[in-house]
Amino acid sequence: MLCKKTIKNQITLPKKIMDGFVDFRYFDVAESKGRIILTPVRIKPAKESMLSGVREKISSLGVSENDIEKAIEWARKK
């Protein structure tokens, strides 16, 4: 089967191929010997215990929610 690369470096994979991957939204992409390799990936939600540890660390550093929002705005302007 043939795929075409757009000027935005996007490709559309044939429906016949993708029908076998209906449960996947993400793929790991690698290059090997001149070939593009797509491997399906299941994304697992972060565990609440992990998130609470991150929140505690942010709090201990004195970083507020407003600081984070400003940092995101700054990064998006770059």
Domain range annotation of the chain: 1-43, 48-77
**φ and ψ at 39, to 5 degrees?**
-120, 125
Instruction: Report the alpha-carbon distance of residue 78 to residue 72 in Å, rounded.
Output: 10
Alpha carbon 42 to chain centroid distance? 11
Q: Identify the residue whose tokens are 């491997």.
A: 39
State the pLDDT at residue 75: 94
Is the distance from CB of 24 to CB of 41 less than 8 angstroms?
yes
State the pLDDT at residue 51: 81
Confidence of residue 78 (pLDDT cuts 50, 70, 90): confident
Q: What is the pLDDT of residues 15-69, one digit of tens each?
A: 999 999 999 999 999 999 999 999 999 988 777 777 888 888 888 999 998 999 9
Instruction: Report the alpha-carbon distance of residue 65 to residue 21 in Å, rounded.
Output: 38
